[in-house]
Amino acid sequence: MLRSLLLVLSRQSWLRHWMETSPAADRLTSRFVAGSTIEREVAVCQKLNADGYLATLDHLGESVNSLAEAEKSRDAYLAALDHIAKLNLKATVSIKLTQLGLDYSEADCRANVECLVTRAKSIGSMVEVDMESSVYVDRTLALVSDLHARYGSVRAVIQAYLYRSESDIHNLCKQSIPVRLCKGAYRESSDVAFPRKKDVDANYVRLMFELFDHGAYPAIASHDENILDRALSYIRERNITADRFEFQMLYGVGRDLQRRLVAAGYRVRLYVPYGDAWYPYFMRRLAERPANVIFLARNLLKS
Ligand SMILES: Cc1cc2nc3c(=O)[nH]c(=O)nc-3n(C[C@H](O)[C@H](O)[C@H](O)COP(=O)(O)OP(=O)(O)OC[C@H]3O[C@@H](n4cnc5c(N)ncnc54)[C@H](O)[C@@H]3O)c2cc1C
């Protein structure tokens, strides 16, 4: 029930306005969101790099309602890539194709992403293309595949909850396209996705093993301790060295786990969001784990 309430609150403009303008907001949100500006983001990423983490920068913009807004979003990512180059950050950028205009023009969206991929390549970074709801999967993978063939420097994301993912992973491995494997975050129907968490988790493990055996530098994106234990056992059994894959987690989530993996010598990349539209992202993170509300309440009292 608390989860549903938090999701409802994530869409309330009055609460959003209060949170965005409250002096307490910083203290409340800084665990999960770097801040609203690129300067804040870069400072967080520098600190993470110094602590042994890799980063991926996620610009949280408002939803895009025109191609002009998609171009603004592209420009925000170009600025992020400039900062990565200037400060020599160990970082990639994570983008969503809808933020770059996919709903308005596939050709313009492709041009925006191509611009980011060529810039990322020129500075030795990479563009990670987040996967959105199932209606976008074909178009997203087609674009990633095309850009990878021309430039490299791009990573696909596969969601273990989709039935189709085994065959998608097979195709991506054949093309040596690096894959980030996650469970999947959207509400999907049982026509396309496993409805039960147990089946999603089992599929995740199957796909993860497939990526370890046949993938090009897989990224294991999860905070699930059981899954991470299975990953660690598998790589030990097969003598897979730590430079052949990475773990990925969300900034502020599973921090003990993150620290333990880095201390054990594994690569861990943190997904670090920033930008004006941080409120819906922040509320969704709370809804994923209502226990986070206790953390929120404690900070509210402190402020
Ligand atoms: C780097 C990264 C990139 C991602 N990219 C995408 C993407 O492109 N497309 C997409 O659909 N999804 C994406 N996701 C989200 C993903 O699909 C899951 O919704 C999310 O990661 C939770 O799944 P889990 O594997 O951590 O397992 P779960 O079974 O959901 O969680 C395992 C444990 O992790 C902890 N945990 C999980 N979430 C939180 C939280 N918010 N706060 C505190 N603890 C928490 C809890 O202890 C929980 O028991 C991404 C996730 C990561 C880490």
Ligand 1 midpoint to CA 222 (Å): 6
Determine the residue type at 198. Answer: K
Residues forming a β-bridge with 25: none
Q: Is the CB of 159 under 6 A from ligand 1?
A: yes
Contacts of 38 (CB under 8 A, 6+ apart): 76, 79, 80, 83, 274
Burial class (CB in 10 A: 0-12, 13-18, 19+), 63: exposed
The residue written with tokens 């430039």 in the block is 151
SS3 content of the chain, % helix, strand, coil (to 5): 55, 15, 30
- DSSP SS3 for 215: coil
A 10 A CB-CB count for 207 gives 22
Work out the pLDDT band at 302, boundaries 50, 70, 90.
low
In angstroms, what is the span from residue 139 Cα to ligand 1's centroid? Answer: 23
Calpha distance 294→296 (Å, rounded) = 5
Give residue-wise pLDDT tens across range 151-181.
999 999 999 999 999 999 999 999 999 999 9
Burial class (CB in 10 A: 0-12, 13-18, 19+), 177: buried
Atom of ligand 1 nearest to the CA of 197: 29
pLDDT over threshold 80, residue 287: no
Residue that has been written with the tokens 């991506």 in this structure? 172
Q: Which atom of ligand 1 is nearest to the CA of 183?
A: 17
Residue nearest to ligand 1 atom 25, measured at CA: 222
Q: How many angstroms separate the alpha carbon of residue 252 from the centre of ligand 1?
A: 11
> Which of 226, 250, 284, 294 for a ligand 1 pocket mutation test, highest count of atoms within 8 Å of Cβ?
250
* Residue 262, helix vs strand vs coil: helix
* Ligand 1, atom nearest to 288 Cα: 41
Sign, CA dihedral 187-289-60-184, equals: negative
Separation CA 288–CA 254 (nearest Å): 13
Question: In a 10 Å sphere around its CB, with 0-12 CB exposed, 13-18 middle and 19+ buried, how is residue 189 labelled?
Answer: exposed
Residues 6+ apart with CB under 8 A from 211: 169, 173, 179, 181, 218, 220, 245
Give the residue, by CA position, lying nearest to ligand 1 atom 24.
222
The answer for residues whose C-beta is within 8 angstroms of residue 106's C-beta and 6 or more apart is 139
Whether 155 is catalytic: no
- Residue closest by Cα to atom 53 of ligand 1: 249
Alpha carbons 26 and 228: distance in angstroms, whole number:
31
Residue nearest to atom 19 of ligand 1 (CA): 185
Which one of 12-21, 54-63, 119-128 scores highest in mean pLDDT? 119-128
pLDDT at 155 (0 to 100):
98
Residue 289 pLDDT greater than 90, yes or no = no
Task: Tell me the CA–centroid distance for residue 153 and ligand 1, in Å.
Answer: 24
**Residue 300 pLDDT greater than 60, yes or no:** no
> What pLDDT does residue 286 have?
77
| 8 A C-beta contact, residue 155 and residue 119 | no
pLDDT in tens, 236-274: 999 999 999 999 999 999 999 999 999 999 999 999 999
Residue 285 beta carbon below 6 angstroms from any ligand 1 atom? yes
pLDDT of residue 58: 97
From CA 178, how far away is CA 144, in angstroms rounded?
A: 10
Q: Where in the chain does DSSP place strands (E)?
A: 54-59, 91-95, 127-129, 154-159, 179-182, 219-221, 246-250, 268-274
pLDDT higher at 80 or 284: 80
HSE (side-chain half, CA atoms, 13 Å) at 52:
13
Query: What's phi and psi for 270, nearest 5 deg?
Result: -100, 135
Of 40-44, 86-90, 224-228, 281-285, which range is least confident? 281-285
Q: Verify whether residue 130 is a known catalytic residue.
A: yes
Q: What are phi and psi of 274, to 5 degrees?
A: -155, 165
Of all atoms in ligand 1, which is nearest to the CA of residue 287?
41
Give me the torsion for CA of 19, 63, 127, 220, rounded to 10°: 60
